[in-house]
Amino acid sequence: MGCGRPARDSELVQIVDAALDEAARRAGDWLVCRPGCTQCCVGAFTINALDAARLRDGLGELKRIDPGRAHRVQSRAQAYVRRVAPQFPGDLNSGILSENKGAQESFLEVADEEVCPALDPQSGTCDLYQFRPMTCRVFGPPVRNHGGGLGVCELCFHGASAAQIAACEMRPDPDNLEDSLLAEFVGSDRNQSTIVAFVLAG
């Protein structure tokens, strides 16, 4: 693990991954996620400082074991940043988004067709899969959103009833460890949201 992340970040990843495995076990054939399915790799989304640190560590490791692949990831990220820069609602040097939620939402709509730079277009798999953000780790199974409803990938759970979907709900971080680690990591400055491309563009 990178020296910049809280020591318990690996514990958080294990908790979330175990919750995903359990949700996938309960979902069975309703969960159609597989290598090559890239539905969740299209469209911008915000990530927090822990996600960003994890991605930076992942890119650093990839540079050590497969420099060519790392260069391709970085090149895709740099091209992505150039495309979205005119509409980006934040600091173009740091990649930190402004606190204006309306501007953020407008930007995320504009970037809705952008493909994540960590996605290898040839294999349809993530070049930084072990280091992916939490949003990526919980995509697919039913997950409760801030409004209280269950969000689920539109490709999954075809033919399942509402009760069957609810029975497969994923509870990724029941003790809110991520919030505690984020507070420890960034202190009172919680406004460090960014997007994957800025982290990987370097």
Q: pLDDT tens, 125-181?
A: 999 999 999 999 999 999 987 778 888 898 999 999 999 999 999 999 999 999 999
**What 3-state DSSP class applies to 184?**
helix
- In contact, 199 and 50? CB cutoff 8 Å: no
Q: Residue 56: what pLDDT? A: 96
The sign of the torsion formed by the CA atoms of 12, 14, 17, 22 equals negative
pLDDT digits 0-9 by tens, 46-81: 999 999 999 999 999 999 999 999 999 999 999 999
Phi, psi for 3 (deg, rounded to 5):
-70, -15
Question: Is residue 202 scored above 90 in pLDDT?
Answer: no
Residue 140 tokens read as 């697919």
pLDDT of residue 11 exceeding 70? yes
Res 188 pLDDT > 50: yes
* Helix or strand holding residue 125 (H, E): strand 125-126
Residue type, 152: V
* Chain position carrying tokens 């091209």: 79
What is the rounded distance in angstroms from the CA atom of residue 23 to the CA atom of residue 18?
A: 9
Phi/psi for 38 (5° steps) reads -115, 20
Model pTM?
0.91
Can you give the pLDDT at residue 2? Answer: 47
**What pLDDT digit, counting tens, does each position of 162-177 carry?**
999 999 999 999 999 9
As a whole number of angstroms, the distance between CA 122 and CA 130 comes to 19
Determine the pLDDT at residue 122.
Answer: 93
